[in-house]
Structure 1
Amino acid sequence: MAFDPAFLDELRTRLPLSSVIGRKTKLVRSGRNWKACCPFHGEKTPSFYVYDDHFHCFGCGAHGDVISFVMQSEGRSFPEAVEQLAGEAGLDVPRQDPRAEARAREAKSLGDVLEAVQAVWRRKLREPDGKAGLDYLRRRGLTEETIETFGLGWSGDGRGGLADEMQRQEITPQMLAQAGLMRLDESGAPRGELFFNRVTFPIRDRRGRLVSFGARTLGDGQPKYLNGPETALFSKRRTLFNLDRARQALRDDGQTLLVVEGYMDVIALHQAGFRAAVAPLGTALGVEQLELLWQAAPAPVICLDGDAAGARAALRAAETALPLLSPERTLRFCRLDAKDDPDSLIRREGPEAMRRVLGGATSLADELFSVLSAGVSGEGPEQRAALRAKLEASAALIGDRSLASEYRRSLLDRYFAMARGGKHRAGSPVFARSLPARMPVAAAPPSGARERLNAMTAILLVYPACLPDVEQAWAAVALPEPLDTLREAMFDWLGEQGGRRDLDAESLHAWLVERGVGTQRQAVLESRLPRLPRSGEGDALLEAGPLERWWEFYSLANREEFQRLVAEDLRLMFADTSLEKAPEAVIARLKVHARLQRGESMAEEE
Structure 2
Amino acid sequence: MPLPPNFLDELRARTPLPPLIGRKVKLARNGRQWKGCCPFHNEKTPSFYVYDDHYHCFGCGQHGDAIGFTMGTEGLAFREAVERLAHEAGLEVPKESPRQAAREAKARTLHDVLAAAAEHMARQLRAPEGREGLDYLRRRGLTDETIERFGLGWSGAGRGALSAALKPLDIEPRQLAEAGLVKPVEGRDGAYNDFFYNRVMFPIRDRRGRIVSFGGRILGDGQPKYLNGPETDVFAKRRTLYGLDLAREAVFRGKAELIVAEGYMDVIALHQAGFEGAVAPLGTALTQEQMEEIWKVTPAPILCLDADAAGMRAAARSAEMVLPLLGTERTLHFATVEGGKDPDELIRAKGPAAFKAVLDARKPLSTALYDLMADGRPLGTPEGRAAFRNDLVAAAGQIPDKSLAAEYRSALLDRFFQSTRRPREARPAGGSFSAASSSRGSRQPFRPPVRLPPRQAPEQEATRKEQARCLLAITLAHPWLLNEVEEAFALLDLPHGHPAALQAALLAWHAGVALTEASDGGAGSLDSADLVSHLQKTGLEEARGWVIRATGLPREAGPDAQPGEALAGWWHFFGFLRGEGALVEDLEEARRELEAGNTAAQARVVSLSRTLLAYRSGETGLEDGAEGASA
TM-score, normalising length from structure 2?
0.59
Deviation at 1:383, TM superposition (A): 1.5
> Which residue does 1:34 correspond to in 2?
34
> Which residue does 1:333 correspond to in 2?
334
| Whole-angstrom distance in 2 between the partners of 1:83 and 1:199 | 49
| Whole-angstrom distance in 2 between the partners of 1:284 and 1:15 | 32
Preserved CA contact (<8 Å) 2:241 2:282: yes
Change (3 A) 1:393 1:195: same
By relative contact order (CA 8 Å, sep 6+), the higher-ranking structure is 1
Aligned residue pair count: 422
Tell me the secondary structure at the aligned position of residue 165 of structure 1.
helix
> Which residue does 1:123 correspond to in 2?
123
Change (3 A) 1:56 1:418: closer
Change (3 A) 1:57 1:124: closer
> Which residue does 2:177 correspond to in 1?
177
> Which residue does 2:386 correspond to in 1?
385
Deviation at 1:53, TM superposition (A): 4.8
What are the residue-to-residue correspondences of 1:197-596 with 2, within 5 Å? 197-337=198-338, 339-420=340-421
What do residues 59-78 of structure 1 show as CA deviations (whole Å, max 9, x unaligned)? 9x9985245679999x9984
Q: Which amino acid aligns with 2:174?
A: Q
> Which residue does 1:540 correspond to in 2?
none
Q: Which amino acid aligns with 1:196?
A: Y
Change (3 A) 1:199 1:336: same
> Which residue does 1:594 correspond to in 2?
none
| Whole-angstrom distance in 2 between the partners of 1:99 and 1:303 | 43
Change (3 A) 1:63 1:312: closer
Q: Which amino acid aligns with 2:284?
A: T
What do residues 116-142 of structure 1 show as CA deviations (whole Å, max 9, x unaligned)? 111111111011100110111111111
Deviation at 1:11, TM superposition (A): 5.0
Point out where structure 2 has 5 or more consecutive residues left out of the alignment. 425-507, 516-631
Change (3 A) 1:58 1:139: closer
Change (3 A) 1:399 1:70: farther
Preserved CA contact (<8 Å) 1:155 1:197: yes
Deviation at 1:58, TM superposition (A): 11
What do residues 320-352 of structure 1 show as CA deviations (whole Å, max 9, x unaligned)? 211111111110001122511111111222212
Preserved CA contact (<8 Å) 1:16 1:52: no
Change (3 A) 1:320 1:220: same
> Which residue does 1:112 correspond to in 2?
112
| Whole-angstrom distance in 1 between the partners of 2:254 and 2:56 | 20
Preserved CA contact (<8 Å) 2:110 2:178: yes
Preserved CA contact (<8 Å) 2:173 2:192: no
| Whole-angstrom distance in 2 between the partners of 1:264 and 1:13 | 35
Change (3 A) 1:332 1:110: same
What do residues 216-265 of structure 1 show as CA deviations (whole Å, max 9, x unaligned)? 00022221111111112211122111111112222334422110000000
Q: Which amino acid aligns with 2:206?
A: D
Q: Which amino acid aligns with 1:224?
A: K
| Whole-angstrom distance in 1 between the partners of 2:36 and 2:354 | 40
Preserved CA contact (<8 Å) 1:37 1:47: yes
Deviation at 1:314, TM superposition (A): 1.4
Deviation at 1:17, TM superposition (A): 6.0
| Whole-angstrom distance in 2 between the partners of 1:86 and 1:185 | 51
Change (3 A) 1:37 1:357: closer
What do residues 141-197 of structure 1 show as CA deviations (whole Å, max 9, x unaligned)? 111111111111001001222111211011111111111101124775132011110
Change (3 A) 1:369 1:97: same
Deviation at 1:112, TM superposition (A): 1.1
> Which residue does 1:193 correspond to in 2?
194
Tell me the secondary structure at the aligned position of residue 283 of structure 1.
coil
Please identify, of 388-397 and 23-32, the stretch whose mean Cα deviation from structure 2 is larger: 23-32
Deviation at 1:268, TM superposition (A): 1.0
What do residues 503-533 of structure 1 show as CA deviations (whole Å, max 9, x unaligned)? xxxxxxxxxxxxxxxxxxxxxxxxxxxxxxx
What do residues 517-554 of structure 1 show as CA deviations (whole Å, max 9, x unaligned)? xxxxxxxxxxxxxxxxxxxxxxxxxxxxxxxxxxxxxx
TM-score, normalising length from structure 1?
0.61
Preserved CA contact (<8 Å) 1:11 1:85: no
| Whole-angstrom distance in 1 between the partners of 2:401 and 2:21 | 20
> Which residue does 2:50 correspond to in 1?
50
| Whole-angstrom distance in 1 between the partners of 2:264 and 2:47 | 38
| Whole-angstrom distance in 2 between the partners of 1:84 and 1:313 | 45
| Whole-angstrom distance in 1 between the partners of 2:94 and 2:223 | 39
What do residues 354-382 of structure 1 show as CA deviations (whole Å, max 9, x unaligned)? 11111110000001111112242142222
| Whole-angstrom distance in 2 between the partners of 1:344 and 1:360 | 18
| Whole-angstrom distance in 1 between the partners of 2:286 and 2:11 | 19
Tell me the secondary structure at the aligned position of residue 216 of structure 1.
strand
> Which residue does 1:479 correspond to in 2?
none
Q: Which amino acid aligns with 1:268?
A: A
Point out where structure 1 has 5 or more consecutive residues left out of the alignment. 88-92, 424-570, 578-606
Preserved CA contact (<8 Å) 1:259 1:302: yes
> What percentage of residue pairs aligned between the two structures are identical?
53
Q: Which amino acid aligns with 1:139?
A: R
Tell me the secondary structure at the aligned position of residue 235 of structure 2.
coil
Preserved CA contact (<8 Å) 1:326 1:400: yes
Deviation at 1:419, TM superposition (A): 2.1
Preserved CA contact (<8 Å) 2:56 2:252: no
Tell me the secondary structure at the aligned position of residue 305 of structure 2.
coil
| Whole-angstrom distance in 2 between the partners of 1:16 and 1:341 | 42
What do residues 89-122 of structure 1 show as CA deviations (whole Å, max 9, x unaligned)? xxxx999742111111111111111111111111
Tell me the secondary structure at the aligned position of residue 189 of structure 1.
coil
Q: Which amino acid aligns with 1:217?
A: I
Preserved CA contact (<8 Å) 2:286 2:318: yes
